[in-house]
Structure 1
Amino acid sequence: MAAAELLKTLLLNFLLTERCYDEFFLELNVLHVPCLKILLSKVLGLGIIAGSVMVKLPQIFKILRAKSTAGLSFKSVLLEMLSITGTMTYSIRNHFPFSSWGEALFLMLQTLTIGFLIQYYAGRTHQGVLLLLVYSLLVGLLLLSVTPLVVVAFLQTLNMPAVIVSRLIQIVTNYRNGHTGQLSAVTVLLLFAGSVARIFTSIQETGDQLMVLTYVVSSLFNGVIATQLLLYWSVPLDKVTKAD
């Protein structure tokens, strides 16, 4: 009995609603379409979060091995941080399920690390440290009730232009260099797959049209970067030019 109660608690906390639990386990209606959509959304969401724990680690390790951030745009990283921060703080303040936004937390930490490394390998370590301190302070303020919710909502509205501009900067950087530099293939492809999957989970779990549209746009531009990576795959590294 204890094991059954534990299983029910886990399922209700992470995968199913009370109604869907009854449909699957009491009514034995395992083909209940609305509940199957909820289950699929939850599984995808948790899978995205699990993948996000390491999605940018290949990128970080590639930078550390090369001791270089050639081909990476700091401006693009800053705009990506703006986008991730908007999604994370907006979701937390609106009490959305963790499965619908949790990857933003891990992407934020890893993107912030990349931003610091760009400054570090450019000989601007003090600016990298300042980035960490200022960003931490801003996120803390956004999560506190002292910051009006309308401000956080406005930040979320900036997500789409931030995504577009940040991806365009990286796309143009890749085009000018004729190479994708220190971009990691694993990271790029995982980001593309995750943004596509998030379209479905956002529709299913939040119903927030702004978030859905943001992920649609993000998927399109992530797809362009993934295509560039494939096109420039065989270009020698000595053709990389240093980006700002």
Structure 2
Amino acid sequence: MTSDTLLHYANVSTLLVCMVLKFPQIFVLMRAKSTTGVSLKSLLLELFGYIVFVTYQTYYDYPPPTYLEYPILIAQDVVLLLLILLYNNRLQDSLIYTVVFVLGWRLLTVEKWIIDFAMSLCTFISAASKFAQLQCLWKSKDAGQISALTWGMASYTCMTRIYTTVMTTGDMLVLVRFITTTLLNLWVLLSIFYYRKNGRSCVKED
């Protein structure tokens, strides 16, 4: 398999996975009508990180295949956000979040230094998002409403993006972001399995 073929496969598979990446989590929330263990803070940080990342890529005219999945992920995160607000009886807050995110997105492209600075913080934003979810898991010790499939697919897409970044733009800011998010996604995934296993053990002991 040539490098061009492998690159094409990585881009296409990443896009296909991302088209349904959040669906398992959406279905889990809709079925349970509960957000136990799911961090709103994590979702908001992730959504902001996605907006910064896709804006940075388009601002510098990077190849669309390297970021095409992000508008799809943003749309899925918006659905998740609405579900979380709905089940927490805070749906009225959706207007506030909409205004904040739209204004923030517009601000990013006012000056070149703003988008560059935001992108330099993007890794920390993404890391903070994962840590917020981990913190929520540690606090609740309940992974029942968190989709392991979603986090597993997220880990895969970040790993493929490490490869595509190396093979195309070579942008170190982007590369560091994907390496960091890969490791933290895997940490969240392992935590989900850990708390599910412990939860089942507790049920058996009772």
TM-score above 0.5, yes or no: yes
Asked whether the 8 Å contact 1:38–1:204 carries over to 2, the reply is no
Q: CA deviation at 1:141?
A: 5.2
Residue 90 (1) aligns with residue 53 (2): no
Q: CA deviation at 1:42?
A: 2.4
Residue 64 (1) aligns with residue 30 (2): yes
Asked whether the 8 Å contact 2:36–2:142 carries over to 1, the reply is no
Q: 2:145 aligns with which of 141, 159, 182?
A: 182
Question: What CA deviation, in whole Å up to 9, does each residue of 1:213-234 have, x standing for no partner?
Answer: 1000001100101111221223
Asked whether the 8 Å contact 2:48–2:101 carries over to 1, the reply is no
Distance 2:126 2:144 in 1: 20
- Counterpart of 2:133 in structure 1 is 170
- The one-letter code of the counterpart of 1:71 is G
Residue 200 (1) aligns with residue 163 (2): yes
Distance 1:171 1:105 in 2: 25
Distance 1:140 1:58 in 2: 31
* Rg larger in structure: 1
Asked whether the 8 Å contact 1:100–1:202 carries over to 2, the reply is yes
Residue 115 (1) aligns with residue 81 (2): yes
Q: 2:121 aligns with which of 158, 161, 177?
A: 158
Q: SS where residue 196 of structure 2 aligns?
A: coil
Distance 1:150 1:98 in 2: 22
Asked whether the 8 Å contact 1:70–1:181 carries over to 2, the reply is yes
Asked whether the 8 Å contact 1:120–1:128 carries over to 2, the reply is no
Distance 2:92 2:188 in 1: 31
User: CA 1:136–1:61 in 2, change beyond 3 Å: closer, same or farther?
Assistant: farther
> Which runs of no fewer than 5 residues in structure 1 stay unpaired?
1-30, 240-244
Q: 2:16 aligns with which of 50, 68, 78?
A: 50
Asked whether the 8 Å contact 1:119–1:127 carries over to 2, the reply is yes
Question: What CA deviation, in whole Å up to 9, does each residue of 1:125-154 have, x standing for no partner?
Answer: 1102332343234335546xxx12221121
Q: SS where residue 232 of structure 1 aligns?
A: helix
Q: 2:104 aligns with which of 119, 123, 138?
A: 138
Work out the number of aligned pairs and report it: 201
Using the TM superposition, name which of 154-163 and 123-132 deviates more: 123-132
Asked whether the 8 Å contact 2:35–2:84 carries over to 1, the reply is yes
Distance 1:141 1:42 in 2: 33
TM normalised by structure 2 equals 0.90
- The one-letter code of the counterpart of 2:78 is L
Residue 221 (1) aligns with residue 184 (2): yes
Q: CA deviation at 1:102?
A: 1.2
Distance 2:196 2:20 in 1: 22
Between the aligned residues of both structures, percent identity stands at 25
Larger helix proportion of the pair = 2
